Amino acid sequence: MAVNAWLRIFLYGLHGFFDEIVFTSLFNFVESNLRDWKFRGHSSLWSFFQYGIGSFVVEQMYLTWKDKWYLPMPVRGVLYVIWVYLWEFSWGVVLRHFNACPWDYSNRQWNVYGLITLQYFPVWYVASLYQELLSGYLLTLSKDPKDTDRKDS
């Protein structure tokens, strides 16, 4: 079965949701000076939609930059992070308007209105480049099975 665009968006959403829970549990563990062994992570259902759609956009950027232009990996990584920050900031503005924004980076260094923090740049950079691998894998599964040379007997 081919992995169509909607299924990829769904898988990207699940993947991002899971990654956020793992990240927050590890981050909280480190912030507790390695004392909180409960490893409680957290997220919001909004994150599922953010990651699903945002990662699909990264996939499309990757395909464009891979097939039509050649941008080196370090440049792609920076451009992905710019997209991530624009996406996170936009969602934050809308969610904050409805008093539904689940994150607040006001206490973090280099934050912008508490909606994004440049402190997470290295994490987003690595995650964005990992997204290329995940996208490549899912797109490989999405190849049309009719493209094979096998003939029915």
Tell me the pLDDT band of 146, cut-offs 50, 70 and 90. low
Measure Cα distances from 111 to 17, 36, 86 in Å.
Answer: 22, 26, 13
Tell me the pLDDT band of 54, cut-offs 50, 70 and 90. very high
pLDDT at 105: 96
Q: Which two tokens stand for residue 18?
A: 């899971």
Q: Which two tokens stand for residue 51?
A: 């990651």
Residues with Cβ within 8 Å of 84's Cβ and at least 6 positions away in sequence, in order, are 54, 58, 124, 128
pLDDT at 9: 96
Tell me the pLDDT band of 143, cut-offs 50, 70 and 90. low
Min mean pLDDT across 5-14, 23-32, 36-45, 133-142 is at 133-142
